[in-house]
Structure formats: structure tokens, C-alpha cells
Structure 1
């Protein structure tokens, strides 16, 4: 029985997060249920593989004692991650005032008429805990862009990353196109300015001629000059 009248053992199965070439430990807590002093002794079917501290001791009435079981580093993983090792924990009532130094093998012999309980504990290997994700949540200055994984397994960068990417790439890709457009608009502006100046001169000549002849400026010229002025203003804004 795992939990007797003398000692309560928790847990009732030794679980080791198995990792190759690494020592792994787990703990047992022994609680004395009796009003008497209880001595204990821990045995295993594979003593070279495990280190138990303490492997013997005395638990005072209604007190607890922690036992640490350490598995030595293993070079190979067991088949199917199954372990056949077992532990045996013996408990016996001893005289008040008994210490660990006073414990003898005869105390755990039922043939001597002592009150002895035995609990068998199995060993189980469990997967090691998963390490935390290296990607930090939240947006922080100096941190790497966040990424998320969609249902089909595609990694999607966040909008912050896309914005930075466009800011660094698009200007480089469009430099030649922008320069060409600016040059074209500048040529168009200069051409319109020249035409406007020419029309202004012709308009001035017409005004002078009309003044001498007593006539007015042709309406068509006025309209053309006005339209050219509007076009010139539009081109100046674009450049």
C-alpha cells in the first residue's frame, strides 16, 4: 500500500522529466500520521542509477520530511520511454527520541515483531518542460518585429514590420521614376512659362495696336492667356 497508517507518501509515483546527459531530481514528502516516532528507509531496484537523500531517517509524530531522489545523467533514452525501476519505502515505529544514527536494519524486519509498513513506488519518465518562446509579446522599442502563424502554417509579419519594410524599399525602387517625372514636369512648366511670356508680349502688342486704332483686345486671346495661367499654376503646385 502506498499510504499506510504510519506514513503518507506524496506523490505515489516518482516522475522524472527525462533529458539525456543531465541529472534529474524529484521529491517525496513523508508525513507521519501516528503519535509515535517513525523511522523510514528507501530502497531501489537500481541503486547505481539513483541517489536518495536522505535514504534513512526519523519522522516525528505528525511531522513531515522531504526526500530528494536524483537520477544520474543517462547516455541513452529507454525504449518507448518506459522505466521498470521501482522503489520500496519501509516505515517502522521506533522508541521516542530515536535519531537517524540509531537506525539499524533490524528495525525494519517483521520477523523481529516490529510494526513495519512497506510502500512500493513506480518510476515514470515525462517530457521535459517546454522552454519559453523567444518572441516577446507587445511592441517595445528596439525589439524585433512580431510574427504570427496562420492556420496553414504561413508566418505573417505584423503591420509595423510591413510599414518599415515599405519605408526602406519603396523609395529606393521609385527613385528613378520620381526623378524622371520631376524632370518631365519641369520641362512642361518651362515650356508653358515661355508660351505664356510670348502670349503676354503679343497681348501687349495687340493692346498697344488697339489703343492706337481705338479698338479692343480680341476675346480669344484673353481666354487663351487665362487658361495658360491656370495651367501654369497647376504645374507649379505639382513640382
Structure 2
């Protein structure tokens, strides 16, 4: 199968780049075939971008949009050049397929299915600087002179200067919201501004965290001491039980010996009970002799 499945607009992802700010770009997909088409979005920098949705189903002759968000960056790239790329894979699926039915194996090259791939480049655009006119004593005053001078220095040197300190502190107060997604979701770590200003609220939070950590350490120490004392008591109990067991064994042996002695004594007594056979014979003979003499 070689027929084209989807049309993509735009062919380049253009982001208005500003330090410490997010930027988004919408992509429009159109299914020009007569079948259900599943798509998947990949990128060379998954921690830098967030795609919503990064997978989906497009019905025949229908369209679908997804949004690519570039997370806030600490500094601008050299000469505003970006080598990041996006890959949009699309393949034909059976009628009635839903997003829950999409699996990674559908887009594997060894699956035997036709997979259409479209690559999109990333283009960074400098933000437009529009001066703000504010009336001062009835005369309009141009407030963007400082930004204009920065823009001139950037054009002359080719290097973008850092924004003013007050702007950085504002960005620290309102950090960008990190959007969670599937496999293309960026890191949840928020990059702090490289400014020397530290908010009192942040210092207070750090102190509270430190105090909480110290309290937790003290509780752990007390629990360890309690466990040590219980362990010592258990060891002493085990020693006592061993001593009692040894004493019990000795007492048992002594009772066995006494029982053997008693059994021997009972045997001797049973032998001595009654008259010996010789004595009985002598008595019988004597009785016969006396009877004979009496008859005579």
C-alpha cells in the first residue's frame, strides 16, 4: 500500500521562543483515505516537549488536531537554531478501532503493516517587541526603551542577553505548569531561574522543611533507643529461659536416677518375699518324721 493517508499542516513547528516561558504550536491532521487511520507522534527530545494527544484515531475523511508544547528553557540556543525533530506515524486500522485499542506494536516496522511517516522540523521565532506608551504628565512616554536597547545589542552581537532581574523574579513566582502526558511527557523538575534573588516564602519553606527533617530524625533516634532497650530485655529473657531449660534438664536426669534406684530396691524386696525351697523341704521332712514317730 503506497497511497497517502494523512495530510499535515503545518510542515514546520514554529515556536515563539522566550526564556522561562512555554510556547505551543497546533498541528492539523486530515485523513484523506476511506479507512480508519491511527497516528502516533514521536520526538527526538521527549523531555523538552509535551504532546496532547500523542496518539489517536482519525475517521475516514475527518480531521484531528494535536498540540505540541515546548517547556520553559533556561537559555536560548545558539543563533536560535534548533535541531529537534518530530515524527508522525500513521497506519490503517480496522473499522471501529478506538484510542484504547492502540498498541505500540501497530507502529513497529516489522509488524508487516504499512506505516506512513512524516517528519517535522522545529523552528524558533524571536518574540515581537511592541513598546507600551504610558502618559506621563500629559505626554506619552515610551516604556520599552530598555527592551529596544537589548534587542539592538542582540542584533549587533548575535547573542541574546538575559532579561531584567524583575522579570526573572516574576517568572520564579509563577513557574510554568508542567503538563503530564504519556511517553512524550517532559520531566517534572521545574528549572529555577539563575537569579541571585531568593523569595522569603521559599526561605520559609526551606526552614520549615529543615525543622520537619530534624523532628523526624529525633523521632527516629527515640524509636531506635526504644528498640535497643527492647532488644536488651529480649536477650536477658532468652538467657533466663536457657538457664531454666538447663535446670529442668538436670532435674529430669536426677529424677531418672532416683527412679532407677527405686526400681532396683523393689526388685530386691520381691526376691526376699516367701520361704526358700530348701527350707520348705526340711520342714516337710521334719513333719513326716514326727508323724511317723507318733504313729509308732
TM score, norm. by length of structure 1:
0.55
Per the TM alignment, residue 135 of structure 1 is displaced from its structure 2 partner at its CA by 6.1
CA distance in 1, matches of 2:91, 2:22: 31
Deviations 1:167-223 (A, max 9, x none): xxxxxxxxxxxxxxxxxxxxxxxxxxxxxxxxxxxxxxxxxxxxxxxxxxxxxxxxx
How has the CA–CA distance of structure 1 residues 132 and 39 changed in structure 2, closer, same or farther, with 3 Å as cutoff? farther
Matched, 1:25 2:4: no
Q: What SS does the aligned partner of 1:77 have?
A: coil
Identify unmatched segments of 5+ residues in structure 2. Answer: 143-296
Aligned residue-pair number: 140
Residue in 2 aligned with 1:217? none
Residue in 1 aligned with 2:104? 105
Residue in 2 aligned with 1:122? 121
Preserved CA contact (<8 Å) 2:133 2:141: no
Residue in 2 aligned with 1:10? 9
Higher helix proportion (structure 1 or 2) = 2
Matched, 1:78 2:53: no
CA distance in 2, matches of 1:83, 1:13: 12
How has the CA–CA distance of structure 1 residues 15 and 143 changed in structure 2, closer, same or farther, with 3 Å as cutoff? farther
Please report the RMSD computed on the Cα atoms of aligned residues, expressed in angstroms.
Answer: 2.1
Per the TM alignment, residue 131 of structure 1 is displaced from its structure 2 partner at its CA by 3.1
Per the TM alignment, residue 107 of structure 1 is displaced from its structure 2 partner at its CA by 1.1
CA distance in 2, matches of 1:116, 1:43: 14
Q: Pick which of 56-65 and 4-13 moved more.
A: 4-13
How has the CA–CA distance of structure 1 residues 135 and 84 changed in structure 2, closer, same or farther, with 3 Å as cutoff? same
Per the TM alignment, residue 129 of structure 1 is displaced from its structure 2 partner at its CA by 2.9
TM score, norm. by length of structure 2:
0.44
Q: What SS does the aligned partner of 2:133 have?
A: coil
Moved over 4 A (4+): none
